[in-house]
Amino acid sequence: MLRFIISRLLQTIPVLLVISIITFTMMKSAPGGPFDREKKVPEEIKQQLEAYYHLDKPATVQYFIWLKNVLRGDLGPSTKYSQRSVNELIGTAFPVSLELGMWALMIALILGGTAGMLASSRPNSIVDYGPMSLAMGGICVPNFVLGPVLVLVFAVHLGWYNANGWFFPSDRVLPALTLGIYYAAYVARLTRGGMLEVLGLDFVRTARAKGVSEKDVVVKHAFRGGIRPVISFLGPAMASLLSGSFVVETIFQVPGLGRFFILAAVNRDDSLLMGTVLVFSLLIIFLNLVVDVVLVWLNPRLRFE
- Between 189 and 213, name the one with better pLDDT: 189
Res 105: pLDDT: 85
With a CB cutoff of 8 Å and minimum separation 6, the contacts of 43 are: none
State the average pLDDT over residues 4-30.
Answer: 84
Asked whether residue 277 carries a pLDDT value surpassing 70, the answer given is yes
Which numeric CATH code is attached to 89-254?
1.10.3720.10
Res 134: pLDDT: 78
Residues in the chain: 305
- Alpha-carbon distance of 81 to 263, in angstroms, equals 11
Asked whether residue 82 carries a pLDDT value surpassing 80, the answer given is no
Least confident residue range of 241-245, 253-257, 282-286: 241-245
- Pick the closest to residue 275 from 78, 38, 127, 11 (CA basis): 78
Q: What are the tens digits of pLDDT across the range 247-261?
A: 788 888 888 887 788
Highest mean pLDDT among 155-159, 201-205, 220-224, 289-293: 155-159
Radius of gyration of the chain (CA): 24
Q: What are the tens digits of pLDDT across the range 58-71?
A: 888 888 888 888 88
Q: What are the tens digits of pLDDT across the range 132-144?
A: 777 777 777 777 7
Q: Which of the four pLDDT bands, split at 50, 70 and 90, describes residue 214?
A: low
With a CB cutoff of 8 Å and minimum separation 6, the contacts of 206 are: none
Please, what is the average pLDDT of the chain?
78
Q: What are the tens digits of pLDDT across the range 154-203?
A: 888 888 888 887 888 888 888 888 888 888 888 888 888 777 777 777 77
- Contact (CB, 8 A) for 89 and 272: yes
In this structure, is the dihedral angle defined by the CA atoms of residues 164, 169, 170 and 174, taken in order, positive or negative? positive
- Alpha-carbon distance of 268 to 280, in angstroms, equals 18
Q: How far is CA 54 from CA 33, 63, 189, 275, 302, in A?
A: 12, 10, 51, 16, 50
Report residue 62 CA to chain centroid gap. Answer: 29
State the average pLDDT over residues 108-129.
Answer: 79
- Pick the closest to residue 224 from 249, 199, 261, 258 (CA basis): 199
